[in-house]
Amino acid sequence: MAETPLHFRTITEISAAIATKQVSPVEITTAMLQRIDALDGQLKSYATVMADSAMAAAQKTEQEIDAGMSRGPLHGVPIAVKDLCFTKGVRTMGAAKVLADHVPSFDGTVIAKLKSAGAVLLGKLNLTEGAMGGYNPEFDIPKNPWNPDRWTGSSSSGSGVATAAGLCFGSLGSDTGGSIRFPSAACGIVGIKPTWGRVSRYGVLALAESMDHVGPMTRSVADAGIILEAIAGFDENDPTSLPTPVPNMLARIGQDLQGIRIGFDENYATNDIDPELAEAVHAGVEVLGDQGADIVEVQVPDVDEYVSAWPTLCSTEAVLAHAATYPSRREDYGPWFRGWLDMGAQVTGAEYAKANNLRAACTGHLRRVFEGIDVLVCPSMSAPPHRITPKILYGRYDARDPKFQRFTVPFDYNGAPTLSVPCGMNSEGLPLSIQFVGKHLSEPLLCQVGHAYESATPWHNLHPDV
């Protein structure tokens, strides 16, 4: 631990240091707030820094720990959350001007669960407007700590930046079409998109409710499992949450991969994909084989046709999510999200039904892919983070090449859990990411596989020079 600066230590390490009185929650929280103050003026990951309440929470947790109380591995650990999560008495804006004065009177379920676990909430993190692709010009844009001219992964961008740059020990993001995986990949961190329904969405601003997922973004696989276990579980306030008991997400951590069947489709994972990324994923598959996994050749169908239905589904559901302010306050939206809502408002019932049928067909094809395997491996996205331009940040929506979401949307469609882990650096010093996809409710298995990969590779130990 002496070799790793405090701000880049894992939750596992910080939790152990707190338990052994090497450092206190007040000391850690003070250091993190000072780091945010020193660096976030450039990185712009935070929408709201909750310094006073964070210090109060740190003092409370310190008193609890001194009195012999333990709430678990998050007790006294400073984290942050995407500014979609309702936080009592604190603005929750979703990066939308129409919500600039929105101050919830209650905590969303994930916030309540984090507080119950003893986590110290440092603040709310910036994102794209409405959790889609572009930013409102009146809101800050997070900067990629590896290269400020490169994409930060869209929606959960503040979560990716703050976690990668050591401005929190972990964060929450959300994923409707890739927005846990894209920023995790772009910023070189770990992200879990849980099984749909594993985590309550009560008190989380919606984009497209049938595909929205909330999950952790961290600097290690074990840390992601720790946060996921804390926020998961059935919630009476969210009827779509699953009544399945929450398992120990780390129960299989450290076990070898003997007998685990890892599916790999070389064409799906490497065709028309950035060559350095394809090579890194190939190398990752070899690592898994060396760790004892059975590598099984599978055939993933061409999913591009099905991915092309996603804008119809998401934009239409977004209109419903914003019914209180669109179209009545249409001009208060930025050009990117305004155009997205305009597009959704024009979709007919028949067009939505056709898109939903394509979603169902995609889910059916993937179900067959998983018949003989436990985990599918592929990239988290099709290329390293691309260069950003004003049009990308603020312009109206342009139809994307389906390969952009080839590795994300199918698993938002079917609600399968995914784990993204750093798998290399390209020749320009940008992070690369490998993705493990599991069957429903297989997050402990994904943590086992991801941890085994992580333990055999150095990439999670690399941090941007900020």
pLDDT for residue 256 is more than 60: yes
Mean pLDDT, range 105-120, rounded to an integer: 98
3-state secondary structure at position 161: helix
| Distance (Å, whole) CA 435 – CA 185 | 9
| Distance (Å, whole) CA 342 – CA 336 | 10
Question: What are the angstrom distances between the C-alpha of 351 and each of 305, 354, 360?
Answer: 15, 5, 14
φ, ψ (nearest 5 deg) of residue 338: -60, -45
pLDDT number for residue 209: 98
The closest of 226, 257, 215, 216 to 375, measured between CA atoms, is 257
pLDDT number for residue 2: 46
Mean pLDDT, range 67-90, rounded to an integer: 97
pLDDT number for residue 395: 87
pLDDT number for residue 53: 98
pLDDT number for residue 307: 97
Mean pLDDT, range 57-77, rounded to an integer: 97
Mean pLDDT, range 286-300, rounded to an integer: 98
Q: What percent of the chain has pLDDT over 90?
A: 97
pLDDT digits (tens, 9 = 90+) for 265-286: 999 999 999 999 999 999 999 9
Mean pLDDT, range 288-306, rounded to an integer: 97
| Distance (Å, whole) CA 312 – CA 319 | 11
Contact of 113 with 103, CB cutoff 8 Å: no
Q: Which residue has the tokens 């905590």?
A: 107
Mean pLDDT, range 371-378, rounded to an integer: 98
pLDDT number for residue 1: 40
pLDDT for residue 445 is more than 90: yes
pLDDT digits (tens, 9 = 90+) for 414-437: 999 999 999 999 999 999 999 999
pLDDT for residue 246 is more than 70: yes
Strand 213-218 relative to strand 190-193, pairing: antiparallel
| Distance (Å, whole) CA 117 – CA 322 | 32
Of all residues in the chain, what percent are helix, strand and coil, respectively (each to 5)?
A: 40, 15, 45
pLDDT for residue 450 is more than 80: yes
Output the average pLDDT for the chain: 97
Mean pLDDT, range 329-348, rounded to an integer: 97
Strand 431-438 relative to strand 418-425, pairing: antiparallel
Q: Which residues contact 59 (CB under 8 A, 6 or more apart)?
A: 25, 26
pLDDT number for residue 3: 81
pLDDT number for residue 399: 82
Strand 418-425 relative to strand 294-297, pairing: unpaired
CB atoms within 10 A of CB 267: 10
Q: Which residues contact 452 (CB under 8 A, 6 or more apart)?
A: 255, 256, 257, 288, 291
* Residue 361 burial class via C-beta count within 10 angstroms: exposed 0-12, middle 13-18, buried 19 and up: middle
Mean pLDDT, range 289-307, rounded to an integer: 97
Q: Which helix (H) or strand (E) holds 297?
A: strand 294-297
Domains belonging to the chain, first-starting first, are: 6-461 (3.90.1300.10)
Q: Which residues contact 161 (CB under 8 A, 6 or more apart)?
A: 43, 44, 45, 142, 143, 144, 145, 152, 167, 183, 187
pLDDT for residue 35 is more than 60: yes
Question: What are the angstrom distances between the C-alpha of 442 and each of 298, 318, 434, 447?
Answer: 19, 29, 17, 9
Residue type, 346: Q
Model-level pTM? 0.98
What is the tally of helices (H) and strands (E) in the chain?
A: 16, 11
> Which has more pLDDT, 3 or 171?
171
| Distance (Å, whole) CA 180 – CA 172 | 9
pLDDT number for residue 324: 98
Active site residues: 82, 155, 179
